[in-house]
A and B are shown apart, each in its own frame.
Chain A
Amino acid sequence: MELMTIATLAAFSPLVGAALAGLLGWKLGRAFAHTVTIASVAVSLLASLVLLKEVAAGNSFAGVLYTWLEGQGWSIHVGFLVDRLTAVMMVVVTFVSLMVHLYTIGYMADDPGYQRFFSYISLFTFSMLMLVMADNFLQLFFGWEAVGLVSYLLIGFWFKRPTAIYANLKAFLVNRVGDFGFLLGIGFVFAYFGTLDYAEVFTKAPTLAYTGIELLPGQSWALGTIICVGLFVGAMGKSAQFPLHVWLPDSMEGPTPISALIHAATMVTAGIFMVARMSPLFELSQAALSFVIVIGAITAFFMALVAIVQTDIKRVVAYSTLSQLGYMTMALGAAAYPVAIFHLMTHAFFKAVLFLGAGSVIIALHHEQDMRRMGGLRKYMPITYATVLIGALANAGLPPFAGFFSKDSIIEALHLSATPGAGFAYALALAGVFVGGFYSFRLVFFAFHGKERFHGEGDDHGGHGAKGAGGDEEPGHEEFHGTPHESPWVVTLPLVLLAIPSVAIGWWAIEPMLYGGWFGQSIAATETMKEMAKEFHGAGAMVLHAFGTLPFWLALGGAGLAGYLYLVRPDLPAVIKAKSGALATVLERKYGFDDFNDWFFAGGARALGGGLWKWGDRTVIDGLMVNGTARLVGWFAALARRLQTGYVYHYAFTMIIGAFALLTLWYSRI
């Protein structure tokens, strides 16, 4: 088969699945819905694997599907660019998606929206594939917005819950703020390059990137910087970077399978992918890279801190995702693009494991998400426990799990990078490793070890405040009775299948991916990568070397502290919390971003809108001008009516005065 045909099949097969499940699912039933969507995603995965094999053999290609629109001297089309970067993303996306499809059969078994859910996640897979396979900015933007749409639909999947429909609106709007920058970035590309095709833009970029643009009078910026910052603002929205991160924790209102698929493994990494894709542009702007690295560093460290005070199991994982995304962003800023993609890939697997494992616990406890009502689960759910443990080990970056290789490479890249701000990022990245080790194992110990608290014996272990993490209390929670059971095979199988790469893929992929020139032309080659290659002596050596380095001991220290606080002295966290007062409050209120945004942006926009409507439209325009004119006319009419007295001599007198006036005018003119 033609490669283009295979690519088309890979992208559109999930769309067909989604359409069938969505349009006919209500009639043909649940089995039909999951069969058809799983089959369609499986086809997509197979096609992606074929393409991966082809690009590995050097057969990268680009092709046009159809012309979307054309004008004077430009044309925009829908087409695919399948190179090594794309192929890696395609395989990651379709593999995780397939696992999540499978898992959903078990997780959503008793949900009335079963068919709708399958339709949505297949639609998501299609959108994500369109995003990663795009060969031009317009299609990228289409995929970008389409994944946002499906994310919106899925966060609000349980649309009766007020928190869910608050969260999905928030997610959409915050993403729109990012898209605002993204679209303006695209606008600059179109205005100055006259095209939206990647290939052409990258070719022209070195000559145009330093064109000075005066955005404010007397202040000139380089075109490349403006474009890259604009695009990155989009990435900040989609990949939940500070300060646009606020939507991701709330997105946990959606069902857990999509937290794994969309809000951990794939969609939120779209921003990372995009920057890597645009690496030829970012390479031309040191200023933009600096911006990227600082934002990434702030996100990586400060979001990790929030994770340690969360008691909702999904929110812990969500904040850990934010932090990991920050690590990827730092790698981008350090111009180590392949490292970012490498971490994206390992993270996709181990974070999917963590989320799906959390989901497995949540269904075992009948939709209990609060870790204060868990504990001691490992003996009831051995498979879930083992896989979550693997996920935590990988997340903490302990060797030889997948996360170790990617996270250590990032830290190495920060160390070697010449980007201004890399030192700052390096410090925060190291500190983040300690925090990461802590929150990862806090989750494991809190939920799976210790006393069993799911019968509601009132053991307020940890005692992280009765408020939970702000706004996500579950009112009227039923007490759980009985014994938790391991989940059915449709749930555990994906866990195991995802745990395998969480263990092994780092070891196996680091050498070819980072140093074997895997990405070839698809990502810009950089100094940072060259420097790193000099230091790299094989995966085995890297593991051995790690035992003597700071990151390893920091991660281990974090894990050890978690063990001490949650296994040995479970009474301590409450004491620490009470003593740390203000700091704990700041973290529990998530630095106050939500409150500020609600008050300033949401409230401010409503107040401004209300003011403009009341004063602008109703008082000034309608009241004064429109109805005022009407009143004025009425007043004149009343006046004119008085003149019409009906006496002939009044009219005659008026006529004479008028005639005199006209004559005067006439003469004075001459």
Chain B
Amino acid sequence: MTQSLPILSLVTWLPIAFGVAVLAVGNDRSPAAARWTALVGSVLGFLACLPLWTGFSTAPGAGMQFEELKAWIPLFNVNYHLGVDGISMPLILLNSFMTVLVVVAHWKVVTDRVAQYLAAFLIMSGLINGTFAALDAIVFYVFFEAMLIPMFLIIGVWGGPNRVYAAVKFFLYTLLGSLLMLAAFIFLYHKTNGSFEILDYHKLPLGMTAQVLVFLAMFMSFAVKVPMWPVHTWLPDAHVEAPTGGSVILAAITLKIGAYGFLRFNMPIAPDASHALAGFMITLSLVAVVYIGLVALVQADMKKLIAYSSISHMGFVTLGFFLFNAEGVLGGLVQMVSHGFVSAAMFLCVGVLYDRVHSRQISDYGGVANTMPVFAAFFVLFAMANSGLPATSGFVGEFFVIMGAVKVNFWYAFLAATTLIFGAAYTLWMVKRVVYGEVANENVAALKDVDARELVFLVLLAACVLAMGVYPKPFADVMNPTIHELLKHVATSKLS
């Protein structure tokens, strides 16, 4: 099935092309041209995604859609093969949407090397879309690795004082993992007699030892990305040092690639190993939920707190996946999208404060609601979403993961549900110390409430968070057929 218009190529290469264009028109003395070009590019990039949503078929067995297939390196049978299903399509939309927000958010804040900053984000946006759309292992790998470079630069160039340590830690951590994934791809290439088609790997029968090895190799790569405990410590450092936009993309999008990898690679390629190692995966996920939830409680730095909260929420995603039931996987997927909105909103809120006071320390604030009432209202809304309050998107995913967990083992659900308490505790305790109370110092007294630009992204995100909480059906309808197919596939053993 080939579309008349290569939409997936468009959403991949359009932002990259605009990123190059931004570099071309960039000029440090008058960054306006770069800014407007970037805005146009990101909006066009998002608009280009919309046909994916409107034209998406939710018929059972629709499989991969909007496919594109061209030979790339015939010598090794590498093909430029793109396509999306109900798992990847919403993530592409999410990514393109976030890129618009990041461009809006940077406007008055970043004044240093503006063109390069924006170009990095646009190029990264395209590469991420490519990662989600790739159906060829090598194409996936190239996008997956290339994506590291702009993020490395964003942290390393526009980051905080300790940015080099954070950037190198981020880079090495993620790179080490992905090398093992490449090895797994080469192994599978030989097993399939020369194919890099991911869908061929899904069908490939593999013995248990091979499955476990493939699973672990890929696990190393994706667990770092998610990040799962105990390979998570790069994330708080990266977030603290990254500029606001970097944190937004990091939390909202790049973490999702790890979780996506489990669904696209580990589970369908090594279903028996996935079942065998489910206890291991669930344990790590629950450690993330509980341990990290407690660690988040004691953070003094807002960004670190939200970073730890991200890890805890991503624990729900991996937990949901490895329950192997429809509720769990749906919950995990919804949580991925929701966490994109909520974590982005939280980081942007911290950014709003940081731009004014230049501190991320909770103790430097207090009583912000007195001087920034509109901002406080949004902050409390997003905090509630982060605590998983019903009618916000944050609830839907957690709810279904817990529903799925009860079916498998009560104690999984019991531990997972502690997030109701810990999640609310660390988020609302921060709210209490930052937003409420008397005006704490002259910095807070001098705060000005959000301006029109900030209102744009806060309103947009609030709308997304509420819409997905009040009416999640459209999202689930897109995901459900794919989840059904996936679970059916994973339930079939590859051993015999």
Cβ A609 vs Cβ B233 within 8 A: no
User: Looking at the complex, which one of B230, B291, B326 makes contact with A71 (CB distance below 8 Å)?
Assistant: B326
B223 within 8 A of A: no
Query: In the complex, what residue of chain A is closest to B424 when comparing beta carbons?
Result: A176
Q: Chain A interface: which of B15-23, B48-56, B182-190, B414-422?
A: B414-422
Cβ B295 vs Cβ A609 within 8 A: yes
Q: Chain A interface: which of B2-10, B206-214, B468-476?
A: B468-476
B489 within 8 A of A: no
Neighbouring B residues of A188 by C-beta, 8 Å: 406
B157 within 8 A of A: no
Cβ B429 vs Cβ A169 within 8 A: yes
If A69-B476, A187-B405, A609-B295 touch, whether A160 touches B233 (CB-CB below 8 Å) is no
A645 within 8 A of B: no
Cβ A612 vs Cβ B294 within 8 A: yes
A172 within 8 A of B: yes
Neighbouring A residues of B480 by C-beta, 8 Å: 70-72
Query: In the complex, what residue of chain B is closest to A604 when comparing beta carbons?
Result: B294
A190 within 8 A of B: yes
Q: Chain A interface: which of B132-140, B145-153, B357-365, B430-438?
A: B430-438
Q: Which of B426-468 contact A (CB under 8 A)?
A: 428-429, 432, 435-438
Q: Mark B286-309, 1 if CB is under 8 A from A, else 0.
A: 000001001111110000000000
B370 within 8 A of A: yes
If A72-B480, A187-B403, A605-B297 touch, whether A215 touches B410 (CB-CB below 8 Å) is yes
Query: In the complex, what residue of chain A is closest to B435 when comparing beta carbons?
Result: A159
Cβ B417 vs Cβ A160 within 8 A: no
Shortest Cβ gap from A290 to chain B (Å)? 22
User: Looking at the complex, which one of A67, A69, A160, A166 makes contact with B367 (CB distance below 8 Å)?
Assistant: A160
B169 within 8 A of A: yes
Neighbouring A residues of B175 by C-beta, 8 Å: none
Q: Chain B interface: which of A264-272, A454-462, A614-622, A661-669?
A: A614-622
- In angstroms, Cα B389 to Cα A142, docked, is 8
- In angstroms, Cα B428 to Cα A285, docked, is 37
Q: Which of A619-645 contact B (CB under 8 A)?
A: 621-622, 625-626
- In angstroms, Cα B390 to Cα A616, docked, is 33
Shortest Cβ gap from A123 to chain B (Å)? 11
Shortest Cβ gap from B192 to chain A (Å)? 30
* A residues at B contact (CB < 8 Å): 66-72, 138, 141-142, 145-146, 149, 152-153, 156, 159-160, 162, 165-166, 169, 172-173, 176-177, 179-180, 183-184, 186-188, 190-191, 213, 215, 605-606, 608-610, 612-613, 616-617, 621-622, 625-626
Cβ A68 vs Cβ B296 within 8 A: no
Q: Which of B137-181 contact A (CB under 8 A)?
A: 169, 173
B396 within 8 A of A: yes
Neighbouring A residues of B198 by C-beta, 8 Å: none
B38 within 8 A of A: no
- Most chain A CB within 10 A, of B389, B414, B435, B436, is at B436
- In angstroms, Cα B406 to Cα A287, docked, is 22
Query: In the complex, what residue of chain A is closest to B487 when comparing beta carbons?
Result: A72
Shortest Cβ gap from B172 to chain A (Å)? 8
Neighbouring A residues of B476 by C-beta, 8 Å: 69-71
Instruction: Offer 10 A-B interface pairs, CB within 8 angstroms, sorted by A.
Output: A66-B471, A69-B396, A145-B389, A172-B424, A173-B421, A173-B428, A179-B420, A184-B417, A215-B411, A609-B297
- In angstroms, Cα B320 to Cα A324, docked, is 42
B413 within 8 A of A: yes
Chain B interface mostly: helix
User: Looking at the complex, which one of A146, A152, A183, A191 makes contact with B420 (CB distance below 8 Å)?
Assistant: A183
Neighbouring A residues of B402 by C-beta, 8 Å: 183-184, 187
Beyond the given A169-B429, A191-B407, A609-B297, please list 18 additional residue pairs across the A-B interface where CB-CB is below 8 A: A67-B473, A142-B390, A156-B436, A159-B437, A166-B432, A169-B428, A172-B424, A173-B421, A176-B421, A176-B424, A180-B420, A187-B403, A187-B406, A213-B410, A605-B294, A609-B295, A612-B294, A616-B295
Shortest Cβ gap from B419 to chain A (Å)? 9
Which bucket holds chain B's interface residue count?
35 or more
If A68-B473, A71-B327, A162-B437 touch, whether A142 touches B406 (CB-CB below 8 Å) is no
User: Looking at the complex, which one of B173, B417, B420, B437 makes contact with A165 (CB distance below 8 Å)?
Assistant: B437
Neighbouring A residues of B472 by C-beta, 8 Å: 68-69
User: Looking at the complex, which one of A66, A72, A215, A621 makes contact with B326 (CB distance below 8 Å)?
Assistant: A72
Query: In the complex, what residue of chain B is closest to A627 when comparing beta carbons?
Result: B169
8 nearest interchain CB pairs? A187-B406, A609-B294, A142-B390, A609-B297, A165-B436, A159-B436, A609-B298, A613-B295
User: Looking at the complex, which one of A70, A145, A184, A213 makes contact with B390 (CB distance below 8 Å)?
Assistant: A145
Neighbouring A residues of B417 by C-beta, 8 Å: 180, 183-184, 187
- In angstroms, Cα B257 to Cα A501, docked, is 61
- In angstroms, Cα B369 to Cα A153, docked, is 13
User: Looking at the complex, which one of B298, B406, B421, B425 makes contact with A191 (CB distance below 8 Å)?
Assistant: B406
Shortest Cβ gap from A79 to chain B (Å)? 14
User: Looking at the complex, which one of B291, B389, B413 makes contact with A612 (CB distance below 8 Å)?
Assistant: B291
If A70-B476, A169-B432, A173-B428 touch, whether A609 touches B406 (CB-CB below 8 Å) is no
Query: In the complex, what residue of chain B is closest to A215 when comparing beta carbons?
Result: B410
Cβ A612 vs Cβ B233 within 8 A: no
Neighbouring A residues of B389 by C-beta, 8 Å: 145-146, 149
Shortest Cβ gap from A140 to chain B (Å)? 10
Shortest Cβ gap from A40 to chain B (Å)? 19
Neighbouring A residues of B411 by C-beta, 8 Å: 215
Cβ A160 vs Cβ B370 within 8 A: yes
Neighbouring B residues of A617 by C-beta, 8 Å: 233, 295
- In angstroms, Cα B425 to Cα A609, docked, is 12
- Most chain B CB within 10 A, of A146, A213, A608, is at A608
Shortest Cβ gap from B203 to chain A (Å)? 24
Neighbouring A residues of B291 by C-beta, 8 Å: 612, 616
B202 within 8 A of A: no
Shortest Cβ gap from B365 to chain A (Å)? 13
Cβ B406 vs Cβ A190 within 8 A: yes
Neighbouring B residues of A145 by C-beta, 8 Å: 389-390, 395
If A165-B436, A215-B410, A626-B169 touch, whether A176 touches B420 (CB-CB below 8 Å) is yes
Neighbouring A residues of B298 by C-beta, 8 Å: 606, 609-610, 613
B372 within 8 A of A: no
Neighbouring A residues of B40 by C-beta, 8 Å: none
- Most chain B CB within 10 A, of A68, A215, A613, is at A613
Neighbouring B residues of A610 by C-beta, 8 Å: 298
B391 within 8 A of A: yes
Cβ B390 vs Cβ A72 within 8 A: no
Neighbouring B residues of A141 by C-beta, 8 Å: 390
Shortest Cβ gap from B491 to chain A (Å)? 13
Shortest Cβ gap from A381 to chain B (Å)? 33
Cβ B413 vs Cβ A184 within 8 A: yes
Shortest Cβ gap from B17 to chain A (Å)? 38
B275 within 8 A of A: no
- In angstroms, Cα B297 to Cα A610, docked, is 8
Cβ A177 vs Cβ B421 within 8 A: yes
- Most chain A CB within 10 A, of B230, B295, B389, B407, is at B295
Neighbouring A residues of B234 by C-beta, 8 Å: 626
User: Looking at the complex, which one of B297, B369, B391, B432 makes contact with A606 (CB distance below 8 Å)?
Assistant: B297
